[in-house]
Chain A
């Protein structure tokens, strides 16, 4: 099995410079043949040393108009590197699309990818570096609740727009928020609510939660219980397990004895794979439906058909939506063309949307000034890959559809055909916590 991106850790500093490839198309006419051939020599030198040559590229491009820089911190190394790398790929697709379309007044976009190692301290350092040293105009990124809060703390202070592309309930709250904070991704409240609204009426009212003992797990349980209360669901138990636990067998006899209708696996990534596998082994599926708030494409592929058979969960995007949603088909096809037939994952799509929204706001605002772009972004209505979306005024949460998928184990057309779309919950502000609850005035 090989990875799509070479496995040895990618360079933590990775600068994509589309600018120098287009430099000669936009070269101002040179009166002087000697200057043209000297430029050609410089370009050849820059092309040859492009990895170390970011400064060269900028020097050449300065003649046309400084590039618009977007900083992209994401955990390229660590447990979620697969998702992070997909975010990068999709973001680069958005940048290339924009540049191929002419850029902004001839200015091209550059994506500066940095590895935050899934560590809040590292994320803050990288973000500060991107703003102070690399002088980025905007920040898009993050893949965890903790890192996005620390990134936001930096961007908020420096008045730089940050469009977060991973889940967090806290980032919408007034105490962490600023007018430059935008949240492209779903949050636990929305996701858990949508899954609860689908699963509880369908499978039963007695619920047990097997929860990863950290902020994400707790937020998910809170979201489920809230939605569940309206539907008459009862919590039989909320069993906490340490983050990263490999063995869940110790919890399963107790869960079996409780005889729930639904077992909600409130964990993520590898924890979800392990708990789903082991719950399957213990024969829990005979009497209980397994539900997960977030069912990642990569987790399902890593865990295999057996472990995830019959598991129902939520997601922000699944490529299989292309059958019913034209925007999804268009996005998938773009991705396939760019990456040799590969399909975008859930977090990949967020990487694309996060960058594209910001760039569209730049065009709409006719400026790269933070305040003007923030204003334009706040007013943006868009449909990049799955249907209509917009940012809610009080907290800049992207109001969007939530997809409920069920894992497939039979009739799979190819290795990517792992889910069937069970339901799509339409975008609605009522899925979000109210502005006043989050502490926003007005």
Chain B
């Protein structure tokens, strides 16, 4: 329970400070939150034993502990990136809300990941979804932000409904909501299959897999860039991890069914998202489709969980999420700083000739895109290799799946290279002027760059994740 308790304390402190502080004291809001979150991470990064509470409703293991640390680390990066956006006059007075809402969703995700009962799982899921809708709408004076939020909340509620409906099927056929009891009673009757599929669609929405992805592009585009970044990695990572845990713990007897469901979903997600991404001109929409296809790659690791090397597959999923966090947040950090310094410029054409005036930013962007595309020696290569390996280990029926995914990495490389091409090769008479990012963004980009370069080459990171699983 340690991460949840300390996170809860953090939320209360930030909330009270937001309530009490006035005038000059408000300036300390941001450093305080960031430092407290840092302490929270430091406090929880130490290995934790297995804990079971509330009669088995809450079950934490060392693996969930590591995953929570990874997500808190990502949130930390998001917070330090948000400085420039938060200091705008139309958002400044909402600073406290931003931190509280994000921390609330993080708490929800923590609950969701270490649930041992469908009820707690559902509460966690909702706690992670509903504040998210407020976050998406935080730029409420922008028309698109409100639209994005409406789209998000409607789809969220709809998919929650479907999932609950699916859970009633599970309950109906097993008579229990506890994961362990469920697992012992599942046999694969039609009722349970319907339950599985409906349940899957609920989480599929959170992970934004095809065919539950329709909200993604509009929401990412409309939401404040920092929130899009948060949505694309933290929220997605938590949901993917939860899906893996539940499929492994609860639906283990039905492994063949969900592996085939995943098979279809992965092929669709990766291919469709890649084909759409090629056509985008708005960088945030582009990253939305890129994140859908990345979600497909994360699912490859879950396929492997049903195979012979469950431990390796779990590790590769968590490792993938970690690498994805640093690479994707680097991209979103750059998009955000370019947007804030150039009157909301997010179109891809604006990046033509970006290298001329901002060589450092374009260099980091290149590294991050290479990492997303899976180019060595950057970390993305390692994480991609490991998920392919885990899907491959699931059996020969999945060889074609790996092949399709691999061919799709080439397509994805094409569109990542389009941005690299824009920055370095495309001529532009009036490239974006040189600008100075604020020190928070700089720090976050440094952290991300170090992560992109070292998390792969230095195998301790992988072994740290592995040791917990």
* A complexed with B: no
